[in-house]
Amino acid sequence: MHSSSVTPSNDLEAIARKGGKFRRMAVRIPTYMADIRENPAWLPMFLLARTIPGRRAHWLTARRGDGASETLPSMFEGVDAQTAVNALKGDGIFPDLQLPAAITQEISAFAHETPCFGNFDRKVEFAAADHRATEDRLGRPILSGHHFERALDCPAVLAVQRDPLLSEIARRYLGAQAQLITTRTWWSFPTKASEADRSLASLDKYHFDLDDWRMIKFFFYLVDVDAGTGPHVYVRGSHNKRRMKHQLTLLVGHPADEIVEYYGEDSPITLTGKAGSGFVEDPFGFHMGTVATEKPRLMMEIGFGVSKPSRRRFHGEPVLR
């Protein structure tokens, strides 16, 4: 996995306008209300986990992992769990994971062959190769294509999900309560989307995730990713500190100039790499997916948290009935 420093752009600042932010939040209100009805403990997490004191208080409840899985065979050769945990604690990210070629090829083939759902909408179903034709038919841009629960039909996805190294890193970092929360594969397509569409898709805008009090996410590129394929960007160290104005707002996305000014111009890193390369991050740190401009990006995410999983199993999708 390769990384490089990035600098803010005028485009990012434009995308972060308040109108787009509030629109993104308003669209999610029905899902938020459903989450509260399903699990009332979600609301204090949503309100307090964005604050450093609230998070630190919850980290005090972490129980030490027993290391039971550290001796089990893993597909990730040469990766030391404690080295990854130390990097997570310091930088918020560990960028040195690599899937075996056979696993990468199997998941990639599956994602090419299996229809996905455009822009989180189950009514918009198409194969990745038909992306442009689907846009022409619908007359609107399609930024993403998620496989939702279909990803779990791929044996290679399940093999990664169950790999003992991932759970060992999660237990050492999050505590013994760590449990699998999310598994997803999705496409990000090059398209002429508006700034509002990008904002709704959490693209080209620094934000942090509030899926749980404590969480880590493993990401894997399933195609070669360079500057034109929409690489992921992470702001090192932003998981451990937070400007007060960013703690006291309900909005998780913020202008690029604010982020770079506070954390430093050398803090953001752009992650590129060959198919199979991966990284694990604490998603409370500021990060963003950039918009693919030349080639589609195919990714997989395996997430671990410490709370009871919601019925909203897939990122961005409304509650499953």
For tokens 């918020």, what's the residue?
92
Are 289 and 281 a contacting pair, CB within 8 Å? Answer: no
pLDDT 10s digits, 153-201: 999 999 999 999 999 999 999 999 999 999 999 999 998 866 656 555 5
pLDDT 10s digits, 37-78: 777 887 888 888 999 999 999 999 988 876 667 678 999 999
Q: Partners of 98 in the beta sheet?
A: 277
Contacts of 66 (CB under 8 A, 6+ apart): 171, 176
pLDDT at 300 over 60: yes
CA distance 41 to 168: 26
For residue 15, the model assigns a pLDDT of: 33
Amino acid identity, position 173: Y
pLDDT 10s digits, 84-125: 999 999 999 999 999 999 999 999 999 999 999 998 899 999
| Residue 285 DSSP one-character state | S
For residue 253, the model assigns a pLDDT of: 73
- For β-strands 116-118 and 144-146, DSSP reports them as antiparallel
Give the mean pLDDT of 230-242.
Answer: 94
232 pLDDT band (50/70/90 cuts)? very high
| Residue 290 DSSP one-character state | P
Task: Give Cα 54 distance to the centre of its chain.
Answer: 22
The CATH superfamily holding the domain 2-305 is q2cbj1_9rhob like domain (2.60.120.620)
For residue 117, the model assigns a pLDDT of: 96
Residue 115 neighbours by CB distance under 10 Å: 13
pLDDT at 269 over 50: yes
Task: Answer with the residue of higher pLDDT: 191 or 203.
Answer: 191
Element (H, E) at 58: helix 52-59
18 pLDDT band (50/70/90 cuts)? very low
Q: What is the dihedral of CA 188, 314, 84, 268, to 10 degrees?
A: 40
306 pLDDT band (50/70/90 cuts)? very high
Token digits for 248? 């006291």
Are 20 and 196 a contacting pair, CB within 8 Å? Answer: yes
Amino acid identity, position 319: V
For residue 200, the model assigns a pLDDT of: 57
Mean pLDDT score of the chain: 85
CA-based nearest residue to 188, from 178, 179, 201, 200? 201
For residue 310, the model assigns a pLDDT of: 65
pLDDT at 12 over 60: no
Q: Is 76 exposed, middle or buried (0-12, 13-18, 19+ CB in 10 A)?
A: buried
For residue 148, the model assigns a pLDDT of: 93
pLDDT at 10 over 70: no
CA distance 138 to 100: 38
Token digits for 296? 């589609």
What is the three-state SS of 220-241?
EECCCECHHHCCEEEECCCCCC
CA distance 87 to 93: 6
- Whole-structure pTM value: 0.87
For tokens 């080209």, what's the residue?
204
Are 6 and 270 a contacting pair, CB within 8 Å? Answer: yes
For residue 19, the model assigns a pLDDT of: 45
